[in-house]
Amino acid sequence: MSEPSATTRLLRLPHVARRARRIAVLAPPWIPVPPPAYGGIEAAVALLCDELVARGHDVTLFAAPGSHSSAEVRPLLEDAHPDTIGSALHESDHVAAALDEIERAARDGRAFDVVHDHSGFTALAMASRAGAPVVHTLHGPFTAQTARFYARHGHKACLVAISRSQAELAPAGVRVSAVVPNPIVVEDWPLCTDKHDYLLWMGRMDPVKGADRAIAAARHCGCRLVLAGPVQPGQREFFASRIEPHLGGDQIGYVGEVGGERRIELFARAKALLMPIRWPEPFGMVMVEALACGTPVLAFPEGAAREIVIDGENGFHVADERHMAQAVTRLAQIDPERCRESVAQRYAPGLVAQGYESAYERAIDAAEPRDVRREHARRTLRPAASVIHERAGRALALTSER
């Protein structure tokens, strides 16, 4: 494995922000920050918080228990909830507790300048009651359901997309004010030019992620394939019917969810990462992590894969499983160092933090003066946290009655 290049090191030179801000960062309640294994949002939040602190900002991270950061960490619930991702009860409880803390800070004379939300939907829906301007990162795709949600609530915050392809799919009337990708510290990932003889697929066992299509591609080219990732709630049937029948031999192996050094080693030693997605993936952190290790990516040109994978430079765009298998024979054309440089130049934490600093300033400039905003909220609105708690309580009561 090789040392990072001079170009990579230069991209990590320290930088101080133009103006220090007091920032509340709201992570999801499901997985600690940084994640022990799977968790693309949590990994991005971890790097962003550390970079914002390094640039002189006063950052408070509201996150799941077990989180740690150079920012001040405030866990809000008693436990993390990796097995109930998407639970309205846990999300609303988490967000309500965060808004309680944000409101309390304002009363104590330590008001936040901006709230940066990564948590899902509840915080955006309540953003007009947050007591500070809200920047909301769009971590998921626009669907028929989410399009209606953002059409109704998107104006309450400064919306930031994580890829151009995601921003282009914004429904009519929904304004995306900036595109800021997820960050990566390339020094945390070893550049490896000595590849082993296996292909890698990594992700959650959701049909849109294409583990079954990766198996088909590996069978077409006769290559060994390693599958890695969690089987989350609702994915057991897919895994049992489409993945498990192919396991047990020498060609297709499943190693489960991996983290730490094992995860890094899998990325670094693979001769290619397969990304056979059939949906508009908003970003795809596994592609960036593989490329940081000098591992090329073979991807269907869907969503952000069209941006992250530069065809012929750090991997190949392929039309289907057979073309993916054929591209394996051309991997020698791809320079591992070029793979690494392609992400170092575009996704360095400093560049990402600069993008968000601009979004924060736009959100602050667009908001009413703080004293006017706070007085208006005090006179006309019930505290956001109490509203969410009440609704969560009603939902729980209804569930109990059933």
In this structure, the answer to whether residues 99 and 58 fall within a common structural domain is: yes
In this structure, the answer to whether residues 25 and 165 fall within a common structural domain is: yes
In this structure, the answer to whether residues 376 and 313 fall within a common structural domain is: no
In this structure, the answer to whether residues 39 and 82 fall within a common structural domain is: yes
User: What type of residue sits at position 369?
Assistant: P
In this structure, the answer to whether residues 285 and 138 fall within a common structural domain is: no
The helix/strand/coil state of 199 is: strand
Longest dimension (CA), the chain: 69
In this structure, the answer to whether residues 145 and 236 fall within a common structural domain is: no
In this structure, the answer to whether residues 262 and 161 fall within a common structural domain is: no
In this structure, the answer to whether residues 45 and 172 fall within a common structural domain is: yes
Query: Residue 67 is encoded by which pair of tokens?
Result: 């989180």
**Residue 274 covered by a domain:** yes
Could you list the pLDDT tens digit for every one of the 402 residues in the chain?
655 444 343 344 445 566 899 999 999 999 999 998 777 899 999 999 999 999 999 999 999 999 999 999 999 999 988 888 888 899 999 999 999 999 999 999 999 999 999 999 999 999 999 999 999 999 999 998 899 999 999 999 999 999 999 999 999 999 999 999 999 999 999 999 999 999 999 999 999 999 999 999 999 999 999 999 999 889 999 999 999 999 988 999 999 999 899 999 999 999 999 999 999 999 999 999 999 999 999 999 999 999 999 999 999 999 999 999 999 999 999 999 999 999 998 999 999 999 999 999 999 999 865 555 455 445 434 454 454 445 444 444 444 444
In this structure, what CATH number is given to the domain that contains residue 234?
3.40.50.2000
Tell me which residue of 290, 165, 281, 176 sits closest to 226, measured CA to CA.
Answer: 290
Range of the domain at 396: 13-183+349-401
**Residue 110 covered by a domain:** yes
In this structure, the answer to whether residues 273 and 249 fall within a common structural domain is: yes
**Residue 8 covered by a domain:** no
**Residue 111 covered by a domain:** yes
For the chain, the domain total comes to: 2
In this structure, the answer to whether residues 235 and 313 fall within a common structural domain is: yes
| Element of type H or E holding 272 | strand 272-275
Edge-to-edge strands of the sheet including 199-202? 252-254, 225-228, 199-202, 272-275, 297-299, 315-317
Helices 336-347, 285-292: crossing angle, 10 deg rounding? 130
**Residue 3 covered by a domain:** no
Final residue in a domain of this structure, among 310, 325, 347: 347
CB 171 within 8 A of CB 197: no
**Residue 64 covered by a domain:** yes
**Residue 4 covered by a domain:** no
Q: Give the predicted TM-score (pTM) of the model.
A: 0.83
**Residue 42 covered by a domain:** yes
In this structure, the answer to whether residues 258 and 385 fall within a common structural domain is: no
Which residues neighbour 198 within 8 Å (Cβ) at sequence distance 6 or greater? Answer: 223, 224, 225, 226, 269, 270, 271
In this structure, the answer to whether residues 74 and 207 fall within a common structural domain is: no
Final residue in a domain of this structure, among 347, 366, 381: 347
